Every structure is written in C-alpha cells, then in structure tokens.
Amino acid sequence: MFSGILNDHLACMKLLVNMEPDIQRAGGILLKGLQGGHKILVCGNGGSAADSQHFAAELIGRFEMERNAWPAIALTTDTSILTALANDYAFSDIFARQVEGLGREGDVLVGISTSGNSDNVLQAVQTASALGMKTIGLLGKDGGCLKNAIDVPVIIPESVTARIQEAHIFILHYWAFFIETNMK
C-alpha cells in the first residue's frame, strides 16, 4: 500500500514539469502585486482552507529568509465572519463578502479548490475580478467551472484529492520561495 501511494504521489508531482509556465506566471502575478504594495487574499474549503492559512502564514511570517512581513490574508480563519455570513447570507457568500470588504484593485486572490467547482470560491473570484483584482486558481481534476473564471488557473489533472493537495502545497511553497528570492 505504501509503495503504491508513493508511486502515485511521484507520478502526480512529475506532472508539474509541464505546468511550469503557468506556475511561474502565477508566481509573477503574486510578486508584482506585493511589489506594488498590494495584498494577497487566499480562500478554499476543508484541506484547501488549511492550505490558504499555510500560504498566508508563509508570507506574513517567513518561508526560508528573515525579512519584513508581506500582506496576506486567509479568508478562512475568522469564525465570527464565516458563521455570520453563512447564517445571514449563504455559505456561497462567505469569501465573496470578505473580498468585497478587504480587496482592492491590484490585490491578488488565490482560490484553491481540488474539484474546481467550489461555489464560494467561484463567487469570490467573480467579486475579485469585478474589483480589478488578479485571480489565481489552484485547482484539481479538469479545473471545473473555476478554470474559465480565473486569470491564471493552475490545474492538477488528477482525480485523487490527496494527490491534488500534495501538489498544491508544493506549488504554494514554491511561490513563497519565488517571492522571497525576488522581492526587492
């Protein structure tokens, strides 16, 4: 069992070689946003919510280098906001309302969805686009409905959620390293 899962993981990670142009393009958008004094907003559900928080923490804290904090917000962390919005509006609005209140033109939204079909992430992307924000998607499977709504979709063409998430965290770590290395 262990060898089978490891081999599936390695096969999935090898797919990233062909995705390098999109991964680099998205990294460039993140870097340009921060260099321009803008912030990064990140959202997702379940394991993707954890990845959102992880990425924001790498930017606010540090990845590998001592440096100043950069503005990044995981839209998955404030239970009062999340529960109020889900109760008073709809669960599909929990990220879009936060983007509306926190996002500004020039900011970047990273939406993470292993299915590519998370309605609350889609609504956040639509709100961000209307505000003039750049949008990046870390998606899985065939990219779902999000692939056509996002400026730069990075799609892991895998059907197993765990393999998609493993690739997503690798990419998020790469972006953190890329930004740290190139931020002036």
Listed residue (126, 117, 69, 118) closest to 96, CA to CA: 126
Distance between CA atoms of residues 157 and 135, nearest Å: 20
129-143 confidence digits (pLDDT tens): 999 999 999 999 999
Read off the pTM: 0.97
Angle between helices 161-182 and 47-60 (to 10 degrees): 10
Q: Parse the chain into domains and list their residue ranges.
A: 2-182
Query: Is the domain defined by 2-182 classed in CATH 3.40.50.10490?
Result: yes
Give the distance between the most distant pair of CA atoms in the chain: 48
80-114 confidence digits (pLDDT tens): 999 999 999 999 999 999 999 999 999 999 999 99
Structure tokens at 16: 């990233």
